[in-house]
Amino acid sequence: MRVAVCSPHARWLEYFEARQGRELDAPTGTPFEERPGCEAVARSLARFELGESGDGERLQRLAAQTGDASYSRAIELFVAEEGQHARWLGVLRERFGAERLTSHWSDSAFVALRHLGGLRREICVLLSAEVIALTYYRVLALAYSDPVLQVACERILLDERGHVAFHRAVLSREFATMPPAGRTLAVLSWRAFMSVTAKAVAWDHRAVLALAGVSRSGFEAEVRRSTRRLARMLRSPEPSAALAS
């Protein structure tokens, strides 16, 4: 594929292209040891697997409408990477003995919020999910001693850090086109949404947090710290071309 030299997203396309075709490379043949807490972890895994399983059709369509071929392709590869996470989580879910979910209120809520607006809103909600994931997978690795779980959490965490940086860079360019007051309002609104989301996720996955020795308030505080750091970056973005909103 030819990359447009002028595209501010060319380096992100290169980033995602370099990561295609990776396998989990976890010791899946290691016998599973069932212990107290197994069912709680299994339920939690099933919910996150569902959240990672979207086809991304609307997101890819909106990205294509920007006219930036590099960004459009980067989004396609991002969606593929999220699908890879879903497959890895499916391996874990089966290992922990849970059935696959077809629906859950948390996934339905996120999908509905993403579809309320254009690309800007969709990316804001996606960024929120990625920020939550940074804390979730760190905590999940502490909740249950299993070699496959540890490898998967480490690999997904690495990917999620890249996803956060990718979406933050996109939003920074978008926010650069907004008046300072509008930019501040948008960032404050996102922070408020993140606070509510962290509370909901902490409640929904409270059993896993307890297994990891992490309180709900501790989970929420970690998410707020990550949110504050990103908010500072979003408030002082580098000017560039905007996305279609």
Find the CATH number of the domain harbouring 46: 1.20.1260.10
Q: Is residue 20 part of a domain?
A: no
What lies within 8 Å, CB to CB, of 200 at 6+ separation is 106
**% of the chain surpassing 70 pLDDT:** 93
Confidence of residue 121 (pLDDT cuts 50, 70, 90): confident
Q: What is the pLDDT of residues 225-240, one digit of tens each?
A: 999 999 988 877 554 4
For the cut 50, the answer to whether the pLDDT of residue 241 exceeds it is no
Q: Is residue 160 part of a domain?
A: yes
Distance between CA 171 and CA 176 in Å, rounded?
8
Q: Which has the higher per-residue pLDDT, 221 or 186?
A: 221
What lies within 8 Å, CB to CB, of 223 at 6+ separation is 131, 132, 135, 194, 197, 198
- What's residue 183's pLDDT? 87
- What's residue 244's pLDDT? 36
Q: Which has the higher per-residue pLDDT, 120 or 207?
A: 207
- What's residue 243's pLDDT? 39
For the cut 70, the answer to whether the pLDDT of residue 245 exceeds it is no
Q: Where is average pLDDT lowest: 1-5, 8-12, 136-140, 155-159?
A: 1-5
Average pLDDT over residues 147-171: 94
Average pLDDT over residues 30-51: 94
Q: How many domains does the chain have?
A: 1
Q: Is residue 123 part of a domain?
A: yes
Q: Is residue 162 part of a domain?
A: yes
Q: Is residue 159 part of a domain?
A: yes
Average pLDDT over residues 146-161: 95
Enter the pTM of the model: 0.88
Of 19-28, 49-58, 147-156, where does the model show the most confidence? 147-156
Average pLDDT over residues 108-135: 85
For the cut 50, the answer to whether the pLDDT of residue 191 exceeds it is yes
Q: Is residue 5 part of a domain?
A: no
Confidence of residue 6 (pLDDT cuts 50, 70, 90): low
Q: Is residue 26 part of a domain?
A: no
Largest distance between two CA atoms of the chain: 57
Q: Do 70 and 9 touch, CB atoms closer than 8 A?
A: yes
Average pLDDT over residues 43-52: 92
Average pLDDT over residues 158-184: 90
Q: Is residue 107 part of a domain?
A: yes
- What's residue 237's pLDDT? 54
Short-list 201, 231, 237, 240, CA closest to 218: 201
The two tokens of residue 244 are 């279609």
The two tokens of residue 44 are 């939690």
Mean pLDDT across the chain: 88
Q: Do 131 and 194 touch, CB atoms closer than 8 A?
A: yes
Give the residue numbers spanning the domain of 85: 35-235
Q: Which has the higher per-residue pLDDT, 150 or 4?
A: 150
